[in-house]
Each structure stands twice: as structure tokens, then as C-alpha cells.
């Protein structure tokens, strides 16, 4: 079985400050990990993904995430928050073998304060 835990359903940061959204996962096989962003009343958009290879992955809009196997974590970061980053962020995991089920976290709403 696989699962995803996103710590903090709401996170507030000041404009220009570091963004850190936490994601921990469990998986019995090597995982594929994803971060998605959702703006109000819209679908989800893929920000970045980790499958194999380099553990630090870069995505769109200046976001990046690091896969840490020893900590079973895949935290999302951005050095400097912009007002346009205010949205809901979802971490997701799927496994690299067997059926392609994706498990999503419950989401973290990011508020950016001017």
C-alpha cells in the first residue's frame, strides 16, 4: 500500500520569502512522485515529477523538489514567493510496478501575504 502525507493544510508566507511545502510518502516499491498545483475552480497542473535519476528536480514557475529516500520525503520549495503562487498544492505518489494507481495528498493551500 502507498500513502501520502502533506503536513499543513494551510501555509502562509510573505511575498519574497521561501516557500516550503512538506510531503512524506510510503511505498513498498520505488515510487514515482509528483507535485501538482490547482488554482481556484480549475483542474490540476503538473509542477514537477521524480521518476529516476537526479534526486533534485526542477519544475515550472521556479519550483523544485528533492527526493530523499532515507527520509521518505519529497518537499516542494521556491526561493522567493510571488503573489501568483497563491494556490493549492497536491503531492502524489504512484508505484513503479503493478497497477498504475496514484494516491494524492489532501493538499496544502498556500497564501502569499503582500
Partner 1 sequence: DGGITQSPKYLFRKEGQNVTLSCEQNLNHDAMYWYRQDPGQGLRLIYYSQIVNDFQKGDIAEGYSVSREKKESFPLTVTSAQKNPTAFYLCASSINRQYGYTFGSGTRLTVV
Residue closer to partner 1 by CB (options 81, 95) is 95
What is the smallest separation between the CB atom of 55 and partner 1, expressed in angstroms? 16
What is the smallest separation between the CB atom of 27 and partner 1, expressed in angstroms? 13
Length of the chain: 114
3-state secondary structure of 47: strand
* Longest CA–CA separation in the chain, Å: 46
Residue closer to partner 1 by CB (options 102, 113) is 102
Alpha-carbon distances, residue 74 vs 22, 40, 77, 83, 103 (angstroms): 7, 24, 10, 23, 14
Contact residues: partner 1, CB under 8 A: 9, 32, 34, 36, 41-46, 49, 51, 90, 92, 94, 96, 100-102, 104-107
Residue closer to partner 1 by CB (options 57, 81) is 57
What is the smallest separation between the CB atom of 101 and partner 1, expressed in angstroms? 8
Write the burial class of residue 25 (CB in 10 Å: 0-12 exposed, 13-18 middle, 19+ buried).
buried
What is the smallest separation between the CB atom of 83 and partner 1, expressed in angstroms? 22
Amino acid at each position: 500500500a502507498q500513502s501520502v502525507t502533506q503536513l499543513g493544510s494551510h501555509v502562509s508566507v510573505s511575498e519574497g520569502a521561501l516557500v516550503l511545502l512538506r510531503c512524506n510518502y510510503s511505498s513498498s516499491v520505488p515510487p514515482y512522485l509528483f507535485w501538482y498545483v490547482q488554482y481556484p475552480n480549475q483542474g490540476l497542473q503538473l509542477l514537477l515529477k521524480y521518476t529516476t535519476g537526479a534526486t533534485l528536480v526542477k519544475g515550472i514557475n521556479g519550483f523544485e523538489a528533492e527526493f530523499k529516500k532515507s527520509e521518505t520525503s519529497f518537499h516542494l520549495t521556491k526561493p522567493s514567493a510571488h503573489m501568483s503562487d497563491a494556490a493549492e498544492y497536491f503531492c502524489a505518489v504512484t508505484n513503479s510496478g503493478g497497477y498504475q494507481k496514484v494516491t494524492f495528498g489532501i493538499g496544502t493551500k498556500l497564501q502569499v501575504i503582500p
